[in-house]
Amino acid sequence: MTDIHASLSSIYESGKYSDFTIRCGDRESIDKETSLEEDDPHTVERMLAYLYNSDYCDGDDSGPAAGVASPESLASPERPTDALEDEERSDSTSQSILEEPDNISATTDVPSLLNNVLVYAIAEKYGIAELKELAKSKFQGQAGSLLSAREFPEIIRELYRSTPSSDRGLRDIVSQVCAQHGRTIVDSPDLSDIILEVGEFGLDLLREVLKYENGRVEEAVARNSALEGELEEKKDETIELQRKLRSVGKVLKNSAKGLEMGRGSENMFMF
């Protein structure tokens, strides 16, 4: 973490030099005042944390500083925070969004998924493009747990309520993950109810399922073509081998005749 980031983080946590109040509903965080009554207080905290720290904590809302990513918790003496943050983000985005959940049932609490959807939406609302990309990256890194999250219905509701149809950032991630398990979603009342409730999600899911199935068909056709090509090569190799065997057979046959003729000549001389 650079000195300026460390200073900004310290100022954010202490409230030093603050001369402005942000009020969210009946909560206020720092004597000039603006009201963000429509916004979730914890999400506003995460947005402010990002503006000061270039990062935010997407975990559960426990405590007044839920949005703050502690510099001490991210760094060690041997590993500077900036390098560690870059490494974590790279690892997160390199994970496959199509990773299969261990247990496809809504039994796991994954509040960070919903929190990242909320941050993504507020970043879009206030035009903070870098925060929006960070929220997307965090969400993408956890998308493998989507179908097993208890928050799955609320994630879908909030995502399709807070983003326009043209914003495909998180919508494509969600629909691609769900398309891998379309049958499971349809067969599960807890998961399928959200399709009936949020029709736009159902349409996106249908599109992705068709893409996924078409992709599987194309892969099967490609594999079949490759196998046919290998079969033709094997046929050509077999034909060539048969030709060589016939040639060897002729040579052996001629050699055998020569031996027989030679033995006949020897017998004539013996008489």
pLDDT of residue 265: 59
* Residues 149 and 222 both lie in one domain: yes
Q: What range defines the domain where residue 170 resides?
A: 95-226
* Residues 111 and 205 both lie in one domain: yes
* 256 occurs within a structural domain: no
* Residues 166 and 101 both lie in one domain: yes
* 251 occurs within a structural domain: no
CB distance 120 to 136 below 8 Å: yes
* Residues 108 and 54 both lie in one domain: no
Collapsing DSSP states into helix, strand and coil, what is residue 34?
strand
* 130 occurs within a structural domain: yes
pLDDT of residue 186: 82
Low-confidence residues of the chain: pLDDT under 70: 1-35, 61-107, 262-271
* 169 occurs within a structural domain: yes
* Residues 43 and 153 both lie in one domain: no
* Residues 121 and 192 both lie in one domain: yes
Question: Could you report the per-residue pLDDT of 31-74, keeping only the tens digit for each?
Answer: 556 667 788 999 999 999 999 899 999 987 543 334 444 444 33
Query: Could you tell me the pTM of the whole model?
Result: 0.61
pLDDT of residue 102: 42
Q: Read off the amino acid at residue 171.
A: R
* 184 occurs within a structural domain: yes
* Residues 107 and 20 both lie in one domain: no
- Number of structural domains in the chain: 2
pLDDT of residue 103: 46
Angstrom distance (rounded) from CA 225 to CA 207: 27
* Residues 136 and 214 both lie in one domain: yes
* 254 occurs within a structural domain: no
pLDDT of residue 101: 44
* Residues 117 and 49 both lie in one domain: no
pLDDT of residue 3: 55
* Residues 107 and 189 both lie in one domain: yes
pLDDT of residue 270: 53
pLDDT of residue 74: 38
* 181 occurs within a structural domain: yes
Tokens 């060897």 correspond to what residue? 248
Distances (CA, A) of 267 to 2, 162, 202, 260, 263: 105, 107, 96, 11, 6
pLDDT of residue 78: 41
Angstrom distance (rounded) from CA 159 to CA 118: 8
* Residues 114 and 67 both lie in one domain: no
pLDDT of residue 161: 94
* 166 occurs within a structural domain: yes
* Residues 47 and 136 both lie in one domain: no
**Token pair in block for residue 71:** 């510099």
